[in-house]
Structure 1
Amino acid sequence: METLLYEASLQGNVTTLQMLLQKDPLILDKVTLNQHDDMPLHVASMLGHIDFINEILTRKPKLSMECDSQRRLPLHIASAKGHVDIVKALVSANPDACGARDRDGMNPLHLAAVNGRYEVVKELVQAQPHVARAMVQKETILHLCVKHNQLEVLKLLIEEIVGDHEFVNTKDVDGNNLLHLAVADKQIETINLLLLDTKIEVNASNNNGETLKDILDQGPRDHVKDKQIKRALERAGVVEADHESLLRQVPKKSISKMGSSDLTKNDVSWIEKKKETMMIVAGLIATMAFTAGVTPPGGVWQDTEEPVMGVNATNGHTAGYAIIATDRASEYHAFLICNTVGFVSTLSIILLLISGLPFLRSRVFVWILLVIMWIGTVFMSLTYVISIVALTPDVTSDTFLHTIFGIVFVWLILGVLLVVGHTITLIKFLCKKSSCCS
Structure 2
Amino acid sequence: MVGEAAAEKKLYDAATKGDVATFQVLLQQDPHLVDEVSYARSRNLLHIATMRGQVGIVEEVLKMNSELARDVDSKKSSSLHIAAAQGHAEIAKKLLSVAPEACWWRDCHDMNPIHVAAMNGHEEALKVLLEVSHIPAMERLHRGQTVLHLCVKHGQLTTLKVLVEKLGELVYAKDDDGETLLHLAVRCNQLVMVQYLVESNKIEKLTPNSMGKTALDISKECSPPTTTNSEMKRILQSLLIKQRSLKSHLKINDMTMVVVVLIATMAFQAAVSPPGGVWQDDTSSHTAGKAVMASAHPKLYKHFVRANTTAFVSSLISIIFSTTGMPLREFAFFGIAFYAMWVSVAAIGVSYGASLIMTNPAQARPIGHIVAIVVFLFVGIIVSVIGYAVKEERSWKREEQEQEDRRSSLKVLIRRFSGRSDSSEPVQAAA
Q: Which runs of 5+ in 1 are unaligned?
A: 241-438
Note if 1:58 corresponds to 2:35: no
CA RMSD of the aligned region, Å?
2.4
- Give the match for residue 184 of structure 2: 181
Q: Does 1:85 align with 2:90?
A: yes
Q: Does structure 1 residue 151 correspond to structure 2 residue 157?
A: yes
Q: CA deviation at 1:158?
A: 0.5
More helix by share: 2
* 1:341 paired residue number: none
What's 1:17 paired with? 23
Distance 1:17 1:194 in 2: 49
Matched, 1:69 2:63: no
- Residue by residue over 1:70-116, the C-alpha shift from the partner in whole angstroms, topping out at 9 and shown as x without a partner, is 01011111111111211111112221122211111111111111111
How far apart, CA to CA, are the structure 2 residues paired with 1:110 and 1:11?
Answer: 28
* Equivalent residue in structure 2 for 1:47, among 36, 52, 57: 52
Contact 1:205 1:211 in 2 (8 A): yes
Partner SS, residue 3 of structure 1 = helix
Q: Does 1:123 align with 2:128?
A: yes
State the match for 2:11 in structure 1. 5
Partner of 2:173: 170
Identify which of 228, 232, 249 aligns with 1:229: 232
Equivalent pair of 1:202/1:237 in contact (CA under 8 Å): no
For 1:202 and 1:112, the matched residues in 2 are separated by 26
Task: Look up the match of 1:30.
Answer: 36
1:81 alignment partner AA: Q
Find the counterpart in structure 1 of residue 215 from structure 2: 212
- The residue identity in structure 2 corresponding to 1:158 is V
Q: Which amino acid aligns with 1:29?
A: D
Matched AA of 1:203: L
Offset of 1:135 from its aligned partner? 1.5
Post-superposition shift, 1:8? 2.1
% of aligned pairs identical?
39
**How is 1:8-407 mapped onto 2 (pairs within 5 angstroms)?**
8-31=14-37, 36-137=41-142, 138-162=144-168, 164=169, 167-222=170-225, 224-237=227-240
- CA contact under 8 A between 2:14 and 2:22: conserved in structure 1? yes
Aligned partner letter, 1:116 = G
SS of the residue 1:236 aligns to: helix
- Give the distance between the partners of 1:200 and 1:50, measured in 2 at CA: 39
Shift of 1:64: 0.7
Cα distance in 1 for partners of 2:37, 2:175 equals: 40
- How many residue pairs match? The answer is 236
What TM-score, normalized to structure 1? 0.50
1:150 deviates by 0.6
Offset of residue 184 of structure 1 = 2.0
1:222: how far off? 4.3
**Aligned partner of 1:139: which letter?**
Q
Partners of 1:194 and 1:204 lie apart in 2 by 13
* Offset at residue 227 of structure 1 (A): 4.5
**1:356 paired residue number:** none
- The answer to whether the 8 Å contact 1:6/1:39 transfers is no
Distance 2:23 2:55 in 1: 13
How far is 1:174 from its partner? 3.2
Deviations 1:338-385 (A, max 9, x none): xxxxxxxxxxxxxxxxxxxxxxxxxxxxxxxxxxxxxxxxxxxxxxxx
Mapped contact 1:35–1:67 kept (Cα < 8 A): no
Gaps of 5+ in 2: 1-6, 245-431
> Structure 1's 199 and 224: CA in aligned 2 closer, same or farther, altered over 3 A?
same
Amino acid across the alignment from 2:27: L
Please list the CA deviations of residues 220-279 of structure 1 after superposition, one character each: whole Å capped at 9, or x if unmatched. Answer: 444644444334323434789xxxxxxxxxxxxxxxxxxxxxxxxxxxxxxxxxxxxxxx
